[in-house]
Amino acid sequence: MNTIVRKVDVSLIDKTIMEEASEILKNGGMVAFPTETVYGLGADALDEEASAKIYRAKGRPSDNPLIVHISDMEQIDRLVKRVPDKARKIMERFWPGPLTVILEKSDIVPKGTTGGLDTVAIRMPSHPVAMELIRVSGVPVAAPSANVSGRPSPTQSSHVEEDLCGKIDMIIDGGPVGIGIESTIVDCTCDTPVILRPGYITKEMLEDIIGDVDVDKALMKPMSEGVVPKAPGMKYKHYAPKADLTMYHGDIKNVENKINEMTKADTAAGRKVGIIASDETLDKYPLGTVISIGKRSDEDTIAHNLYRVLREFDSLGVDVIYGETFEDNRLGQAIMNRLLKAAGYHVENV
Ligand code: TXA
Ligand code: MG
């Protein structure tokens, strides 16, 4: 398949490109597009055949449901059985934006889109290109992250091209995304909503609006500890770079010393080492290929760079990666959730 790549100026969106893309969606095809979190791979959410194409293109397990993207609050009533009060409140506060809400699905949403579940994940993205594409196409758009299953999520168009060129109809290049990690997922089918995947919208931000919110206990633990995550996608090995990643946790001086010690031994043994550092520690590592993931003092920068840095180590062909850990408060929880998964939960205290 020939994949059309079209560049779009986000401040002046070209209508003909949006029409070309929405024709593809309406005819059961696939279009990758930027959102404020990561790039998504879109298809008509109400067309089971179109959803099936997404699973094939990504190599995604069929029990892993897709998020349905809308551009208008009015679209939601057709898609779900009911909207509980708490769900409505957080949607009103955080939409459009990086929040996904799980509700009981209506009959028009095919199980081929929801991975066989009776619930559906819904999100209204705030990126102008995503909004415009959904609006012009007039259909709810099923869109997982536009990466091959298991690889780091794409935060710029070239990442999508790397993974999916030749497998999908079109890529809309709207430049690098803003946030860089996927939306917060909140299950609103129970009295106390539960965070199934941490993201930019934190537990505290949600609790300010609706009171108590739980967090799925499985999020920060390896599956071997016997807890199965409630979001099917969170159980798969994910976000993984090709080289083995080990994270070191503790006083930052100890972390630097340990990483330097490991890097020295690996380098002597002929192994190529990558180091995930931060702006504050970049000059502390004399050996290895050192890349800063962002500023410790500004978590937004870490979220923004995270997946790009993991992909960079892939293209550099390193044999092993060592990384610092980060605080797990606020956005740090989402950052550490992704890094822990990328490391296969391999963290050592130093
Ligand atoms: O920011 C985002 O959410 C991005 C952009 C493109 O919108 N999308 C995204 O989709 O991250 P994906 O498919 O990579 O991740 C969707 C996650 C998976 O872990 C999936 O299991 C979970 O959402 N999910 C979807 N529907 C669900 C449901 N009905 N119940 C529980 N988990 C669900
Ligand atoms: Mg994904």
Chain segment 131-150, per-residue pLDDT in tens:
999 999 999 999 999 999 98
What is the per-residue pLDDT across 304-337, written as a single tens digit (0 to 9) for each? 999 999 999 999 999 999 999 998 888 999 999 9
Which residue lies with its CA nearest to atom 32 of ligand 1? 231
In the block, tokens 């807890």 appear at 227
Is 303 close to ligand 1, i.e. is its CB under 6 Å away?
no
d(CA 133, CA 141): 9
Q: Ligand 1 pocket, 287 CB below 6 A?
A: no
257-294: per-residue pLDDT in tens? 999 999 999 999 999 999 999 999 999 999 999 999 99
Instruction: Indicate if the pLDDT at residue 27 is higher than 70.
Output: yes
**Domains located in the chain, CATH noted:** 4-220 (3.90.870.10), 244-349 (3.40.50.11030)
Look at residue 302 and give its three-state secondary structure.
helix
Please name which ligand lies nearest the alpha carbon of 149.
Answer: 2
Gyration radius of the chain over CA positions: 20
- Please give the distance, rounded to the nearest whole angstrom, from the Cα atom of residue 39 to the centre of ligand 1: 13
CA of 64, closest atom in ligand 1: 21
Is the shortest distance between the CB of 201 and ligand 1 below 6 Å? no
129 lines ligand 1 (CB under 6 A): no
pLDDT at 237 over 70: no
- Is 121 touching ligand 1 by the criterion CB < 6 Å? yes
Lowest mean per-residue pLDDT among 101-105, 196-200, 215-219, 298-302: 215-219
Is any ligand 1 atom within 6 A of the Cβ of residue 64? Answer: yes
Is the pTM higher than 0.85? Answer: yes
pLDDT value of position 285: 98
CA–CA dist 146, 171 (Å, integer) = 10
Q: How many Å apart are CA 186 and CA 198, to the nearest integer?
A: 9
CA nearest ligand 1 atom 21, residue: 233
Which residue's CA is minimally distant from atom 10 of ligand 1? 144
